[in-house]
Chains A and B, each alone.
Chain A
Amino acid sequence: MKRVLPLLCGFMLAPAAAHAVEAPQKGGTLRILVSSAVGTLDPQISYVGLTKFFETPVYDTLLTYPKFAGPGAQPVIPNLAVNVPLPEDNGLTYRLTLRNGIHFSNGQLLTLADVVASFRRIFAAGSPTAGPYYSAIKGADACLKDPAHCTLAEGIETDVATNTITFHLSRPDPEFLEHLAWFHASILPANTPAHDMGNTAPPGTGPYQITDYNPTTHMRFERNPYFHEWSHDAQPAGFPDHMEVTFGLEPESAVTAVENDQADLMYENVPLDRLGEVGSKYADQVHIFTPLLYYYATLNVNEPPFTSLKVRQALNYAVNRHAMVIYDGGSAVAYPQCQLLPEGTPGYERFCAYTAGASPQNPAPEWVKPDMEKARQLVQESGTKGMRVTIVTPSGGKSDNTALELRSVLENLGYKASVHSISPAVHFTFVQNSDNHVQISISGWNADYPSAASFLDTLFACSNFHLHSDNSPNMSGFCDPRIDDMMHHAAQLTLTDRAASNAMWAQADKALMAQAPAVPLVQTKRVVLVSKRTRNVIITLNDEILLSQLQVP
């Protein structure tokens, strides 16, 4: 803790300064450093943040998340479609009109046939979100069972005369518009093969195209010669002529390379031990923003001692969030998290049920300090003192420190605690599987788009707990029909009354915290370093830094 504190002073004293407004500058080559590659380039298959980051200026969806910052940037906006449809038939029908005159990067004109084929391909190629995001489309169930013969004939109707496309759902999906904007619904040419395209990027409609890619060494972007800006807010034209990505430099070396002007942008966060240096010497090149990402300890409600509500509450009272903030880099880049919705999501209302002087019935406005006395009393009442608890954590980095802090807290509460560090590559699937009997684990969760359901429903709804499966995002194994109903109601309200829906989600957040199926720890910020020459850094809620908008001489 002592070692980290002085390093933070730079950021505390010198927050990132905005560049002076200058005339937009087109041209040049933007050089980006990334420590390791992104895997498959297929926009309908890849499910990693880095691919989305790179493919935002390459592919388009019918609707999209706004490419501008600010409080108005939450709801989806039209992109390849000219309108955001209103739900019809109680949320069972959505009608959109396709824009005219848009071409793919191979010169092909985008038509309704491409749109229909792209939605079929989601199932045929096995998109990860085919089930969770698109199964409400009529005929999707058959497509999931038999992807090779997917037609979606009943689910998608087109009218060439009016250039409209109509989605028919088998059940209302309150987030269907957000799902249309998700990058797995990218519109690709109808003749794109129905399998993972791997290292070959299919043609897209955005301002750039990926022309060269080797997942171990590099990636190259060039302008899409057929692109014209149809909506600046949805898909703005790009500034650099080329973008070159180099894979393989560790973040430590990437910081140095950007400082030396050998590169323009490092994708990874600035490592903790370099925060002081960049905060003091390169503050005007640092950009800090808050993604919808938080870290938490999942408590398995089906494994003792966390079967006891009192134990779960005790741990929530006992964890020192201030220490967790320090382990994450300090107050400039992280802040205490006390609830299951992070700041920035619809329905977020700040509260803290477990801190000194607070309770689920009378939450405090924010986290103050741990209440060890209350925590010890709850453990005593639970009769679980002396039990063994193993914390499963992804090895390396701050997770280890977080786990060690948690171990110390558990031991203070009277448990025999130990830490089991496992490879980050398997940690996420390992802790999900009920067969592995994980009691408590350290995890992070980043929503695909701003949605309360992406946190509360995905992580704590009965339907997302699957026994014996590596894909069971409800890692706590929590299931409370009363809270499930509340979340379902909140989701349905989205279709008719967003304000009421948000209020209901806030209630669900409180109700879940009262049951304490997890210990929220910190919400973190991204700290990105750019070169001296890089200008026009635009950060959005969904797409982080907009690559296409960076200007280099």
Chain B
Amino acid sequence: MLMAALRRLGQTVFVLFGISALVFAVFFATPGADPTARIAGKNASPQTMQKVRQEYGFDRPLPVQYAIMMKKLFITQDLASYADRGELVVPEITRAAPVTVSLVCGAAVIWVVFSIAMGTLAAALKGTWVDRTLMMLGLVGISIPVFWLGQVANLITQNRYHDTWLFSWVPALGYVPLTQNPWGWFKALIIPWVVLAVLFIGVYSRVLRADLVALSGEDFIRTARAKGLSPSRILIRHGLRTAMVTFVSLFGMDFAQLVGGGALLTEVVFGLPGVGRLTYQALTNLDLPLIMATVMYSAVFVVLANAAVDMIYLLLDPRVRDAR
């Protein structure tokens, strides 16, 4: 067990090193990306450029610059943005994370509940018009780009019908902290939750239906049927539990990726100051410290989610346990 944990830790460190080295190398290999002139300001004198170069350590070899950046990011945690010397990136991410977690958790609840309901119902009524309608709706959800849906939602709720009884409750775009005003927090997030969840409802319900349909021909389902169990019991107790292996696997990766900043477009469209928007801002300004920090943050989540998914496998599928 200890060895497995150590192996997992080793893999994590290796992945993080690889990603960070790649981000760093790509940044400095990009023509025009040298931040000196941008920090020094337009038409700055060569002496001012030199001052900036020395202060930021841009005159040192790249491996040394990389090592210093990693030390500042992970050990001293005082890595400052290139766009604003006063902006320390680690506290910035710490402040942004609750916004992203709020957005993603709410959306996750919606997409899990709806996709399980839709997928199970479609599988139970396989071949009927209900099945076809639900799966078509799922496909529509998958096909709609989230930024477009978000803009349309804003257009309807903030613009065209904002003054009607239907949407007069919709607050201005932006985030309201849960600790400050729970009802305001809920109102500010309900539309972003739904918008973010739509794509995943489509994906998950279709995957779940396909798994349930495939499982219906498996030996253990036939056995359950032979034992005279009711179709609903077979579907939910035996089929759904096994089909959830794929579901959970997908969920773990998607959830981690979103919490790590993948909900970028939703955050940008709804003006939510989360990790995704921070990433967007970092990329817009080509601000390496912020890019590095947000990428590392995202990578950590994905690696951790991988480990968590492996654990949940053990609980869900006895065959995996046996394989150990």
Contact = CB atoms under 8 A, between A and B. Distances in A.
Nearest to B157: A256
B173 interface: yes
B34 A47 contact: no
A427 B285 CA distance: 11
Contacts of A464: 43
Given A216-B92, A256-B154, A131 B37 contact: no
Contact of B32 (A41, A197, A253, A422): A422
B30 A426 contact: yes
A60 B272 CA distance: 35
Contact of B95 (A47, A214, A248, A429): A214
Contact of B84 (A37, A147, A217, A430): A37
B266 to A, nearest CB: 13
Interface in B15-61: 30-34, 36-38, 40-49, 51-52, 55
Contacts of A128: 40-44, 48
Given A39-B83, A246-B174, A248-B174, A144 B32 contact: no
B284 interface: yes
Given A249-B174, A249-B271, A470-B34, A131 B44 contact: yes
Contacts of B173: 249, 253, 256-257
Contacts of A252: 151, 154
Contacts, number: 159
B176 interface: no
Interface of B: 30-34, 36-38, 40-49, 51-52, 55, 80-81, 83-87, 92, 95-96, 151, 154, 158-159, 162, 172-174, 268-269, 271-273, 277-278, 281, 284-286
B95 A126 contact: no
B31 A40 contact: no
Nearest to B172: A262
Interface string A457-471: 010000010100111
A337 interface: no
B97 to A, nearest CB: 12
Q: Which 3 A-B pairs have the closest CB atoms?
A: A198-B86, A131-B45, A128-B41
Given A216-B281, A263-B172, A126 B43 contact: no
A132 B43 contact: yes
Size class of the contact patch on chain A: 35 or more
Contacts of B83: 39
Given A36-B284, A196-B86, A126 B40 contact: yes
Contacts of B34: 429, 470
Given A128-B48, A250-B271, A40 B172 contact: no
A216 B48 contact: no
A540 to B, nearest CB: 22
A40 B286 contact: no
Contact of B45 (A135, A198, A250, A257): A135
